[in-house]
Structure 1
Amino acid sequence: MNPACRRASLDAHCPSSAGGFVGSRVLRGGPVAKNTRHVVPSTSGGWSVRKQGAARASKTFETKMEAEKYGKDHAQKDRADIFVHGANGMIQSHKTYNK
C-alpha cells in the first residue's frame, strides 16, 4: 500500500479497505453520502472544505475553526456527514447529520 494512502485522504488513487476508492468507501456498514464534506488542510495554506470526490475545494479559510463552521452548516443543511482532518491528514472527528 502506498504510504500516503495509510492516512484518510481524498486522493482518488488510494484504494480503500472496502475495495473501492477512498471517495466511495464504506463506513460503519453504510456508504458515505455523496454530499459528505471534508475539512482538510489547504495546499495553499489555511483550511479547505471539500465535497466528497470533488477536485476543488468548496471554500478555503484562514483558520480551521472557520472551515469547520462552514462545513458543519452545509452538512446539516444537506443532511450529510462531515469529516474533520488534522494537519497530518488523519481524520480527527466525524459527525452525521441525517435528520
Structure 2
Amino acid sequence: MGRNQHVVPNPNGGWNVKGAGAKRATVHTDTKRSAVNIARNISRNQHSELIIHGKNGQIQSRDSHGHDPFPPKG
C-alpha cells in the first residue's frame, strides 16, 4: 500500500497533491478539480486513501482505493 494522497490548498494560489508525510507537493494545479483527478489516479495506482481538504485546510472528504480497515457492513 502506498502513501495516502492529500489534495490541499496552496498558500500562493491553486491546489497541491501531496503524499502523506511529504514536504513537497507531487503536483501543483490551478484548479481543485484537476488536483482531485490526479490524486485519485495516484491513490488508485498505489491502493491508498484519497483525502480532500477545503480552502480552510479541514478535511472535506475521503475515498479509499485500497485496504479499507472499516469496510461497510451489509
TM-score, normalised relative to structure 2: 0.85
**Structure with the higher strand share, 1 or 2:** 2
Letter in 1 for 2:59: I
- Note if 1:43 corresponds to 2:11: yes
- Note if 1:82 corresponds to 2:21: no
Aligned to 1:24: none
Determine if contact 1:34/1:52 at 8 Å carries over to the other structure. Answer: no
Q: How does 1:56-95 map to 2 (within 5 A)?
A: 56-95=24-63
* C-alpha separation in 2, matches of 1:34 and 1:91: 20
- Note if 1:54 corresponds to 2:22: yes
Give 3-state SS (helix, strand or coil) of 1:50's partner: strand
What are structure 2's unaligned runs of at least 5 residues? 68-74
TM-score, normalised relative to structure 1: 0.64
1:43 to partner: Cα distance:
1.9
Letter in 2 for 1:95: D
User: May I ask how many residue pairs the two structures share in their alignment?
Assistant: 67
Higher relative contact order (CA 8 A, sep 6+): 2
* C-alpha separation in 1, matches of 2:28 and 2:11: 10
Identical positions, percent: 33
1:34 to partner: Cα distance:
5.5
Q: Could you report, residue by residue, the CA deviation over 1:40-81 in whole angstroms, capped at 9, with x for unpaired residues?
A: 001221000000000010010000000000000000000000
Give 3-state SS (helix, strand or coil) of 1:60's partner: strand
Determine if contact 2:18/2:27 at 8 Å carries over to the other structure. Answer: yes
